[in-house]
Amino acid sequence: MKILTGAQIRELDKYTIEHEPIASIDLMERAARAITAAIQQQWPQGTPVVVFAGPGNNGGDALAVSRMLAEKGYSVDAYLFNVHGHLSDECAKNRDRLISEGLIHRFTEVSNNFDPPKLTEQTLIVDGLFGSGLNKPLEGGFASLVKYINQSPARVVSIDIPSGMMTEDNAAVPTMAIVRADVTLTLQMKKLAMLFADCQQYLGVVRVLDIRLSKEYIKSIPSPYSTVEADLVRQMMLHRDDFAHKGMMGNALLIAGSEGMAGAAVLATRACLRSGVGKVTTLTPRCNYAIMQMSVPEAIVHPDSENYYSEAISTEEYNAVGIGPGLGRDEGSALALMSQLQQTQCPVVLDADALNMLGSHGMWISQLPDNMIMTPHPRELDRLAGTASRSDGERLAVARDMAENLRAYIMLKGHYTALCMPDGSVMFNTTGNSGMATAGSGDVLTGIITGLLARGYSRKNACIVGMYLHGLAGDIAAQRMGKESLVASDIIAALPEAFKAMY
């Protein structure tokens, strides 16, 4: 599913109006009916409602919702902020209609002084101040109003997007200048900012309301952003031939583990085996040899001569290599890593300490071969980039630029893991849950992707299928035992069921 920018969404509205065809005011009426129905589903008729409407089309939506809620028997107080003496045409029409019908409890048009209403725990605030068309942070009276809303005990439902929030990056927006909603009723599709962790504090529960904007236009308009859905993953799945043998199913190499971190090597290896690969060899320090042999009897163990990763090995017989889980940051390991990358011809996945070692040797980044797959979490990406991003939106832009410049696949891990690809496109994963925020979860992901690559998946497809199955296995595990007690081994245990669900 595509994710559009704020500018593209405005173009989508315009296209729908011109080609459905439908009048702008009638499209607003359609949106308001969907919003009103969603509010009715969650808040009973006796709930006192206070509506804050801005001067633009978001305010027009809010005024239309005020009228419809009043028609349904709700007691509604609506405040229209017209401080500059100019309303959008649709907002003005909805103001006039609201006044003429006379059903609303109280309507106040604010042009100068504002006497704020009392907001209690029983009050429902409908936030319709500003929508996706906002292009600068709120200040002055509007910023003060947002602060008043956020300090109140009332529940808040925001129309389309919490007022004050930008649809893409919010690095420059003061935290106190964004409404903190309990529910966000967004229209037609999620906005990019809704996929970022640092924006969740403002969004509450996000519900997407279908207001029948042009599917033809959505299909035709180019966008670098999209989400990964189950149907796409099913199309990418490779099927095992009935006459297959292990030699046909790929040979994977993992370089993982250090003294005290044998578990990372174990988890990555187990996950790699569960991904359907024919054979897995794990290169790990000699101190982990016995642990690996006992923990993963299906794997081949290649012990390093030292108690750290000390020397690159030939990869001619392998179809894919995964490097990094629990590897440590010994300087000898860093030198071995660069030597390994320079001589390895098959697809490579870099994770964890492999990324940290690259981050501590900044000049090495530009020497990486094309088509590397890297799976950093946010802080690891900051180390790779050599700078700390101010927001998740800014960090995504850094990862996207890095993927293009390095010709790499960069999987920025998070609740909505973002796969940034060499062509500049970004795909957000839609599976997974907070129970997966546990040690070893990333090692499991590395094992899965490495196994899929060895199995014969392209780099792009291995990344997409890998992150989706990883999250799906986490969801299955959480469904079985809850999120609080989830550990990485539970994700591996649920992988067979996740694979089965995709065939």
Q: What's the average pLDDT block by block, 10 residues per block, for the chain (503 residues)?
A: 94 96 97 98 97 98 98 98 96 97 96 95 98 94 97 98 96 95 97 97 98 96 96 97 96 97 98 98 97 98 96 97 97 97 97 97 93 97 95 97 98 98 98 98 98 98 98 98 97 98 97
What pLDDT is attached to residue 303? 97
Q: Which amino acid is at 134?
A: L
What pLDDT is attached to residue 289? 97
- Residue 411's nearest CA partner among 438, 449, 385, 356 is 449
Whether 427 contacts 418, CB under 8 Å: yes
φ, ψ of residue 488 to 5 degrees: the values are: -60, -35
Letter string b/e over residues 312-343, b meaning 16 or more CB atoms within 10 A of that residue's CB:
bbebeebbbbbbbbbbbebeebbbbbbebbee
What pLDDT is attached to residue 125? 98
> Any idea what DSSP says for residue 301?
E
What pLDDT is attached to residue 448? 98
- Taking the CA atoms of 485, 490, 495 and 501 in sequence, report the sign of the dihedral they define: negative
Q: How far apart are CA 491 and CA 267, in angstroms?
A: 10
DSSP result, 72-92:
TT--EEEEEE-TTS---HHHH
Residue 386: exposure state from Cβ atoms within 10 A (0-12, 13-18, ≥19) = exposed
Give the C-alpha distances (Å, rounded to integers) separating 496 from 13, 127, 272, 448, 499.
43, 45, 12, 12, 5
What pLDDT is attached to residue 475? 98
φ, ψ of residue 84 to 5 degrees: the values are: -105, 5
Q: How far apart are CA 242 and CA 498, in angstroms?
A: 21
What pLDDT is attached to residue 455? 98
What pLDDT is attached to residue 332? 96
- Residue 436's nearest CA partner among 490, 501, 392, 502 is 490
Q: How far apart are CA 477 and CA 485, in angstroms?
A: 10
- Portion of the chain with pLDDT greater than 90, in percent: 99
200 token code pair: 């969740």
132: left (phi over 0), alpha (psi -120 to 50) or beta: alpha
Q: How far apart are CA 185 and CA 160, in angstroms?
A: 5
pTM > 0.85: yes
Which SS3 state, helix, strand or coil, does residue 23 take?
Answer: coil
233 token code pair: 């993953």
Q: How far apart are CA 500 and CA 356, in angstroms?
A: 35
State the first-to-last Cα distance of the chain, in angstroms, to the nearest integer: 21
How many angstroms from the chain centroid is the CA of residue 325? 23
Whether 108 contacts 78, CB under 8 Å: yes
- Residue 256's nearest CA partner among 443, 128, 403, 119 is 443
